[in-house]
Structure formats: C-alpha cells, structure tokens
Structure 1
Amino acid sequence: MPEILDIFNQDAFSASALTGNITLVPNAYGRINALGLFRPEPIATTTVTVILENGVLNLLPTRPRGAPATLGIRGRQRPKAFPVPHIPHEDSVLATDVQNMLALTPTGIAGLETVLGFLNRKLIVMRNKHAITLEKLRMDALKGVIRDYDGSVILDLFAAFGVTQQVVDFALGTASTDVLGKCQDVTGYMEDNLLGETMTGVRALASPEWFRKFTTHASVKEAFKYYQSGPQILREDVRKGFTFGGITFEEYRGSASYVQEDGTTSVPERFVPAGDVRFFPLGTTDTFTNYWAPPDFWSAVNQAPAIGDAEVFVAPLEPKKFGKGMDIHTESNPLPLVKRPALLVRGTTSN
C-alpha cells in the first residue's frame, strides 16, 4: 500500500477526529447565527413531529354557590410531521494537491505542505459552505418559506400551519407616512398572535434599499440623526442596530450563489430581496428551534447527535483508486423551524 494511505489510517484521520476538527472551526458566517435565535435540538429521527394544539380561552360566567361549574373544553390536537433536509457535500484530497506544495509552519517559516494541514484547510472551506447554507435556510424560515438552492419549496410554514402572512406597506416614499404608527402595527400584530408565547422585543432585518429609505424618511431622520450623534458612533456601525418605535432595525446583506447544472456559478441570491424587511420577535421560549437529525452513517442510526457535533459530520475517508488520494464526505441535517409563523411579518414600501 502506498505510504500516503498509511498516513490516512492514523487516528488523526478517523471520522470522529475529522468531525471534531470541523466542529472546532467557528461557525462565524451569518447574522442569524450570531443572533442565537434558533435553539438547537438534536433528534434521533429524520422527521420532526410537532403537535399543534388549539387551546380554548374564553370568559368564565359567574354561578351561584353550589351550582354546577362550567366544564373546560379540550383543545384540538393536530400532529404535523416535517422531514429534515439532508445536505451532503463531497470533495477530495489528492497526492498532487500536497506534493511539492509549501505551507507556513507555526514558526512562520515556509515548509513542505503536510497532508493533515491541507486536509484541515479543505475542511474549513467545506464547513463554511455548510455554514452559509444554514444561514440561508434560517433566513428562509424567518421569511416563512424554506427553499432549496434552486428556489424550489422545501417547506411552506404558512401553508403547513394554516396561517396567512401579515404584510405591512411602510410607504416610505411618502413624506407624510406615519412610520411610527407602522411600527406599532407590526408590534401590535405580533402581540395579538403570541398565543401563549412571550417576547421581549422585535428585530427587523432589512435590505439595504429599504433601510436607506427608512433612515432617510422625514419622520425617522431626526431620530436616526440623534442616534448617530451618540458617543459610540465612531466605533459602531449603526446599520447593525438602530431602534425606532420599539423595533431594532438593521441592514442585512446576506447572499450566496450556487453551482448550476452546466457548471457555471449563478448570480448571487439576496436572502432578503431588495425593498423588503422581515420582522420577528425576540425573547421567545419555544418559537424558533433548529432540529438536527443524525447523519446517514451506519454508526449513527436512530441516535440523536451531540449538540457540539450536530452541525456538520465527516464520514470515514474513502481511498481513491490506485492510491491517488482520499475522498471526503461531509453532511449536515438541519431543519430550522418557526412553530408560530403568524409572528413573522413582512414589510415593504410601495414607493
């Protein structure tokens, strides 16, 4: 057996070690990830079943003492099953990738590339692809419709839960628009649809076009100008958080492209379309959950993954023909679910 394959048989190249390596790469890509909105919940199955229970809340009449009490009406339960998306991604490490290549050593001196060093950098790239995919899925969940890379629908949360999305036109091109009143329309609607949930605030992720119109509107401009004059303005980017009308607005520029069937790269897709803003509640207890299904490995059948390892898994390396290198298989199995999609509000501006 060629010597390079003996290297791959060492413990550092085992599936558990490689999964550990890929987990140690910080998932720093994406604003939604940074917000920590979705609570992670590993599961042992490839589907998630959510019980929808329509609780009955009604006024209780008074009765004379000793008279029969009113009887409680049980809520109606409706189970909903959602499949967890399976996202595999493969690459390879070839002898020609490493042979004669230079790499910086820990001392800063260039030396010959090592197989493990090259593999770890390859894993970082693969990890980042999974990270941007997860960011896109989570943004889709906040928009209420989770889509695949090509735009096809994976899960329509509004249809699944039987609700219609609330859309608020801010009409930012009209100087007389009561923008504060529009903000109150958003927060009031959310409060009316909590249905037993709680919230501590509202955040808005806005496209650059919408955010620019918002911050330059006559009724917002003075407040924004005052905010910009604060003592931290030289150190803070106000696009990352400006509070008005009880809502924290920020500009969101998430986008990504994908490889098309003909091998070319698509035009980058904006996760929040131009002219749009998306509102969602903060401080909820059970509205936003990211379910993590087990990987498609024999050793992981019907086992909930550990939270620390749940995001991306690496399969055992597979030798290439004639000892030319090794194939790498990674996969992620996430379902970001919004269990109260009525709380998701879309904002637009018609002018």
Structure 2
Amino acid sequence: MPSIVDIFNDDAFSATSLTAAINVVPNDYGRLRELNLFPEEPIPTTTVAVEYANGTLNLLPTRERGAPSSLGMPEKRQVRSFEAFHVPHDDFVRADDVQNILARVGSAGVLESVQTLVNRKQITMRRKHAITLEHMRMGALRGEILDSDGSSLLNLFTTFGVTQQSVDFVLGTATTDVKAKARSVVSYMEDNLEGEVMTGVHVLASPEWYEKFIGHAKVEEIYKYYDGQNNPLRQDVRRGFPFHGLTIEEYRGSAQYLQEDGTYATRRFVPAGEAIAFPLGTMDVFRTYFAPADFMDTVNTLGEQIYVRQAVDPEFQRWVKIHSQSNPLPLVKRPKLLVKLTSSN
C-alpha cells in the first residue's frame, strides 16, 4: 500500500503540475473579468513603475516652405512605483483523508482518487483567489484598494494627487434633469482624457442607486413610448441599458471576510446608494499586473496568476500542505477618470 509520501512524490503533484492545474481552472467570478476591464500582464519583478506624462495635443502652425519647423516641448514626466500585493493561502490534505480513500478504492486507484481530492481543493482555492482579485479590482475602480479587513492598501487618488469627481443625481427630486446629469459625466471624462481614448462610459450601480434611477419620473417619461430593446420599464435590464451616453448596470458584487472575533461579515463592493462611472475602450488606463512568487526558482521570471506548491509534514507525515499564492497589482493609471455617482435624497 503506498504511503502518503509516495503518493505526493508523483509527478502529478510537482510544483509545475499543481501550478499549471490551478491556472487551468477557469475563473468564472467577477463582472470586471467579464468586461475585460483590467487586461492582465505578467511582470518579472515585484514592482511596477508607472510613468505619467501629461502629454497634450496642440494644433501645429503652418510655415512657408523652407522655414523652421515648430518644436515639440519636453513633456513633464512623473514616475510612480507600485508594489504587487502578496496573497498567500494554504490548505491541507491530511493522512485521514488519504486513509479513507485507500479504504474505499484500494491501492490501485489511490493516485487518481487523491488527484481528485487535490483538484477539488484547488478549485476552492482558485475561487477564493478569484473573488479576492475582483475585490481588489473593484477597489481600484473606486480609487482605493482595501485589504480583507477593510484597511487601505493603496489610495490611487492620494498617490496620483487628484481629487475624485462626484456627481449628485438628486434622484429623490422628481424634477431633476437626469439627462443633463448623465451628459455631464460623459463630458467630464471626454475633457479629461489627456491623450487617452474611450468608446463609452459604463456605470456599475448599487441596487439602491439603480432602483432610484430607473424609478425616476424623468427616466420613466423618456422610456414610456420606447419600443426598442433594453427598456427598463418593460424588461429586466439590470445587466445594462443606455441612457444619454451612459450604460447603466446594477452591480451586486460582495464577499465575506473573517473578523477579529472569528465571525464572518459581508462587504459589498459598491456601497449602498452609490455608483461608479468609468470609461471603456481605453488604451492604457486599466491593467492587472502579476508578479512572480517568492520562490528561489521563480526569481525574475514572468509572474503567473497563481502558484501552487506542496510540502509534507516534516515531523510525523500527518499531512501535506498545499500552498497557493497570487501576487496581483490592479491599477487605474488615470484615477481622474473615475466618477462617483450619488443621490443626496
């Protein structure tokens, strides 16, 4: 009968195999992943230097042929350095788990059965990393990345020295010109692209803000005689409907986190009564970087989404620890383009 050490010495449980296996597990979690808002880029270091050049496009004057050309002025450049976050998570396969498998399937099928057990644990670990990444990305989209306990990891507005634009839609007042409010959001982004481009403006709204918006008298009036698709008066359009340059979508992302007293609480990724507007189709505003793991053999290699290693209990061989880690850095390089939407009544 194979021992637990023999089983986990198989190539199926090597660091390469385990890392490849967990990265093959599809990440099915996250609206931001579905929108492909934060393209992923592996990096060989743990830090990213972002160069911010306030380049502006100006009209070029005409000249007589043979006359001196106009000269480009040197750009004012600033470099900011960001460090990838380290997110480790461990699980265990215990001797009793393997013993029960041996009793059930016998020695002939134990390798495949233990692989199934490990794969099941890896799927759970993958999902935990996925929801953590969505939480970080959503934090970046709101301008401040938070840790699981709610403490601040990175405030993009402070780091870039900008103040977030906020628009109060005053949805509790029936006469509010919501069309003008929506257009003001789009106009603000267009005026602050500073050499960037965009194809549209998307809004992820808390259920409270969303319900107030679609129930507003002016919105109902606009869609009252509209026979096309995505009519909020006749259809469930929580996945998004157009309104004067905005695509407005209800967002219910949330996750549980462990509190100091050992109980779990739920954090919503978009606070009640708020919404966040952001540009789509940009060239380089959003990015998720993945740094290499803190292993000797991954130094200066391109980072993977997730790494996995296993180690046997060195004292009594009672368990095998499955160690996973991800080293992501979701960034919004133009936080000035993130607009908070509220309603004061």
The TM-score normalised by the length of structure 1 is 0.89
Secondary structure at the counterpart of residue 171 of structure 1: coil
Q: Which residue of 1 aligns with 2:288?
A: 290
Q: Please, which moves more after superposition, 38-47 or 150-159?
A: 150-159
Q: List gaps (5 residues or longer) in structure 1.
A: 106-110
Instruction: Give the length in aligned residue pairs.
Output: 339
User: What pairs with 1:52-63 in structure 2 (closer than 5 Å)?
Assistant: 52-58=52-58
> Residue type of the partner of 2:73?
I
What SS class does the counterpart of residue 317 from structure 1 fall into? strand
Matches of 2:204 and 2:226, distance apart in 1: 18
Identical columns (%): 57
1:152 deviates by: 1.7
For 1:189 and 1:230, locate their aligned partners in 2 and report how far apart those are by CA, in whole Å: 28
In 1: Cα distance, 2:236 partner to 2:317 partner: 52
| Structure 2 residue identity aligned to 1:299 | D
2:308 matched residue in structure 1: 314
Distance 1:189 1:96 in 2: 61
1:336 aligns with 2:335: no
Give deviations 1:38-78, integer Å, cap 9, x for gaps.
Answer: 11111111010011112254455666776655433101111
Which one-letter code corresponds to 1:29 in the other structure?
Y
> Are the structure 2 counterparts of residues 83 and 217 from structure 1 closer, same or farther at C-alpha, using a change threshold of 3 Å?
same
Q: CA deviation at 1:100?
A: 3.1
Cross-structure match for 2:250: 251
Shift of residue 195 of structure 1? 0.8
- The 1:158–1:84 alpha-carbon spacing in structure 2 relative to 1, beyond 3 Å, is same
- Structure 2 vs 1, CA of residues 226 and 22 (structure 1 numbering), >3 Å: closer, same or farther? farther
Measured after TM superposition, the shift of residue 261 of structure 1 is 3.1
**Partner Cα separation in structure 2 for residue 7 and residue 297 of structure 1:** 23
CA distance in 1, matches of 2:138, 2:119: 28
User: Where in structure 2 are the equivalents of 1:106-117 lying within 5 Å?
Assistant: 114-117=113-116
Judged with a 3 Å threshold, the aligned counterparts in structure 2 of structure 1 residues 69 and 262 are, in CA distance, closer, same or farther, namely same
Preserved CA contact (<8 Å) 1:32 1:138: yes
Q: 2:341 aligns with which of 343, 347, 350?
A: 347
Amino acid paired to 1:333: N
Determine the C-alpha separation between the residues in 2 that align with 1:287 and 1:298. Answer: 33
AA partner of residue 300 (structure 1) = T
Name the TM-score, length of structure 2 as normaliser: 0.90
Q: Give the Cα separation in 2 of the matches to 1:231 and 1:273.
A: 25
Amino acid at match of 2:192: N
Q: Displacement, 1:128?
A: 0.7
**Aligned-residue CA RMSD in angstroms?**
2.8
User: Once the two structures are superposed, what CA deviation does each residue of 1:236-291 show, in whole Å capped at 9, x if it has no partner?
Assistant: 851111111121111111111212233322x2001000000000111111111111
**CA offsets, 1:101-123, max 9 Å, x none?**
69x99xxxxx9992211111111
CA contact (8 A) 1:91 1:328 kept: yes
Partner of 1:11: 11
Q: 1:316 Cα shift?
A: 3.5
1:97 aligns with 97
| Alignment-mate amino acid for residue 297 of structure 2 | S
Corresponding residue number in structure 1 for 2:271:
273
Structure 2: distance between partners of 1:339 and 1:348: 23
Indicate yes or no: 2:150 matched with 1:151: yes
Give 2:25's aligned amino acid: V
The residue number in structure 2 matching 1:27 is 27
Unaligned runs of 5+ in 2: none
